[in-house]
Chain A
Amino acid sequence: MGSFINASIGKKFLVSISGLFLISFLAVHLTVNLFLLAGQESYNLVAHFMATDRVISFLEPMLAVGFLLHIAYSVILTISNQKARPQKFAEVDTSRSSSWPSQNMFVLGGLILAFLVLHLSNFWYVMQFGEMDYIMYDGIAVKDAYTLVTGKFVIWYHVLAYVAGAVFLGFHLLHGFQSSFLTLGLYNKKWRRRLEIIGILYTIFIAAGFSLIPLYFLIGHYAG
């Protein structure tokens, strides 16, 4: 086990597997968000389910572990990669050889992390520890998450932050999706192109979904 974790490919394995876990979480998260479009009651009930379901409450700390592993091992690998070329090239031209996201995964990751801090303090922290209004549905008191969320989505700078977060995430996924499979060795001549296409479609689904929902509320607010 020690030699596995000490090896570069072992560390990459952890970044990749945690990345795929986070990637699948995004789909769940976006699905929950889509209930915002279905109205207050639907969204509040889904949010209530997410907050109280046994399986979900087991997965929540796993998610934190996933983030921590992904971040910690990316930092470790990036530091050692930086050290691998003490004297830089005077001129570097990667325009033909690799995509911009693939060259900037660490920066994109940092931007996503910054967004995540903002996002967690906006919603997650308030829902866990803040003062929330309750609404009764069929005799059960449910936190009014809908009002909290949509209240933010009518303020332009919050929406801007959410759209920016979705764009950073999109670029990160554009490389991260297929890269995760490559690192796991689940990649060959036949699957290369397929993974690229699936990755692009998934990225569009996630980035468009996460940015269009706040924009929908913002536009709805101003259009009356």
Chain B
Amino acid sequence: MEFKLKIWRQKDARSQGRFVDYSITGVTGNMSFLEMLDYLNKTLIEKGDDPVAYEHDCREGICGSCALYINGRAHGPADEIATCEVRMRLFKDGETIVVEPWRAKSFPVIKDLIADRQALDKIMQAGGFISVNAGSAPEANSIPVSRESADDAFDAAICIGCGACVAACKNSSAMLFVAAKVSHLALLPQGRKEARKRALAMVAKMDELGFGSCTNTTACETECPKGISMTHIARLNREFLLSGFQT
């Protein structure tokens, strides 16, 4: 397969970036998108050019670092997979592929396709935890959890913090991410106690960091590689709106 690539190149956080066109041949359908980029980088390095910087780690959809906006969609053309799981056979031979970093005020681009997503960590630091006394781990079955809550909490807990929800959102809102974290902890007895306080703190941090507000377009839900549902956003809204009644 062969492709025309339009890739965002930017020297550093302070430089102006621009799209650079590349042609690539000899790609196979079984290559992952990242392998295709590695292949491109090999040719760039051989020519003495600067390789395209992009983020990756696990390459199996669990770390959330492969944050690429491909042909107008976060994590590319398929639903519920991360960029690293995208195979080149999903594209048409000869197609032009536009590759951009996440773009949001809260995610400044630091080089080429890498946007700094530390803002998500800051939201976590504001409340994405449960307060416990450190010590030896308690006996696992001493706090009963219903099967339903465990399943629902797990559905939220699989958020990999990739930030695709922010990228997919026309408002650059981080609501789906925050909702996943708030929901995950609120559904479990250990996290329930601080649920409303947590919602308040995380939303305040999200607003402060310059993320937009959610207008319920559901774009995040579709582009989320883990299929985190809008129903978690509803739970976050509930926790937030009831936070005034926290005892």
Chain B residues near A6: list those with CB within 8 A: 207
Chain B residues near A105: list those with CB within 8 A: 215
| CB–CB A92/B212 < 8 A | no
Nearest CB of chain B from residue A34's CB, rounded to whole Å: 31
Contacts A81-B172, A98-B222 given: A93-B229 contact, CB under 8 Å? Answer: no
Name 22 A/B residue pairs within 8 A (Cβ), A-sorted: A7-B207, A11-B213, A12-B213, A83-B105, A84-B104, A84-B105, A84-B173, A85-B103, A85-B212, A89-B72, A90-B98, A90-B100, A91-B72, A94-B170, A96-B222, A97-B221, A97-B222, A98-B217, A183-B237, A185-B237, A185-B238, A187-B231
| CB–CB B72/A92 < 8 A | yes
| CB–CB A182/B234 < 8 A | yes
Asked if B62 is at the interface of the complex by the 8 Å CB criterion, the answer is no
Nearest CB of chain A from residue B94's CB, rounded to whole Å: 18
Partner of A86 from B105, B168, B173, B236 at Cβ < 8 Å: B105
Looking at chain B's contact residues, the main secondary structure is mixed
A1-20 contacts to B (CB < 8 Å)? 3-4, 6-9, 11-13
Contacts A81-B172, A89-B69, A92-B72 given: A7-B203 contact, CB under 8 Å? Answer: yes
Closest residue of chain B to A1 (Cβ to Cβ) is: B244
* Range for the number of chain B residues in contact with chain A: 35 or more
Closest residue of chain A to B207 (Cβ to Cβ) is: A8
| CB–CB A182/B100 < 8 A | no
B213-239 contacts to A (CB < 8 Å)? 213-219, 221-223, 229-231, 233-239
On chain A, the number of residues with a Cβ less than 8 Å from chain B's Cβ atoms is: 43
Asked if B206 is at the interface of the complex by the 8 Å CB criterion, the answer is yes
| CB–CB B210/A83 < 8 A | yes
Asked if A175 is at the interface of the complex by the 8 Å CB criterion, the answer is yes
Chain A residues near B236: list those with CB within 8 A: 9, 185
| CB–CB A8/B230 < 8 A | no
| CB–CB B234/A9 < 8 A | no
The total of interchain contacts (Cβ-Cβ below 8 angstroms) comes to: 139
| CB–CB B214/A12 < 8 A | yes
| CB–CB B204/A3 < 8 A | yes
B105-127 contacts to A (CB < 8 Å)? 105-106
| CB–CB A81/B237 < 8 A | no
Chain B residues near A86: list those with CB within 8 A: 105
Report the separation of the CA atoms of residues A185 and B245 in the bound assembly, to the nearest whole angstrom.
15
Contacts A7-B203, A96-B222 given: A81-B215 contact, CB under 8 Å? Answer: yes
Partner of A91 from B98, B105, B219, B231 at Cβ < 8 Å: B98
Asked if A88 is at the interface of the complex by the 8 Å CB criterion, the answer is yes
Interface of B toward A, CB cutoff 8 Å: 6, 8, 19, 69, 71-73, 79, 98, 100, 103-106, 167-168, 170-173, 200, 203-204, 206-207, 210-219, 221-223, 229-231, 233-241, 244
| CB–CB A192/B231 < 8 A | yes
Chain A residues near B171: list those with CB within 8 A: 81, 84-85
Contacts A83-B210, A91-B72, A192-B230 given: A8-B203 contact, CB under 8 Å? Answer: yes
Nearest CB of chain A from residue B203's CB, rounded to whole Å: 6
Report the separation of the CA atoms of residues A8 and B179 in the bound assembly, to the nearest whole angstrom.
14
Nearest CB of chain B from residue A184's CB, rounded to whole Å: 7
Nearest CB of chain A from residue B14's CB, rounded to whole Å: 14
Q: Which of B200, B213, B221, B235 has the most CB of A within 10 A?
A: B213
Nearest CB of chain B from residue A60's CB, rounded to whole Å: 28
Report the separation of the CA atoms of residues A84 and B6 in the bound assembly, to the nearest whole angstrom.
25
Report the separation of the CA atoms of residues A179 and B230 in the bound assembly, to the nearest whole angstrom.
11
Nearest CB of chain B from residue A18's CB, rounded to whole Å: 15
Asked if A87 is at the interface of the complex by the 8 Å CB criterion, the answer is yes
Asked if A122 is at the interface of the complex by the 8 Å CB criterion, the answer is no
| CB–CB A90/B19 < 8 A | yes
Chain B residues near A102: list those with CB within 8 A: 215-218
Asked if A77 is at the interface of the complex by the 8 Å CB criterion, the answer is yes
Nearest CB of chain A from residue B126's CB, rounded to whole Å: 13
Report the separation of the CA atoms of residues A8 and B219 in the bound assembly, to the nearest whole angstrom.
18
Nearest CB of chain B from residue A79's CB, rounded to whole Å: 10
Partner of B218 from A11, A84, A98 at Cβ < 8 Å: A98
| CB–CB B244/A4 < 8 A | yes
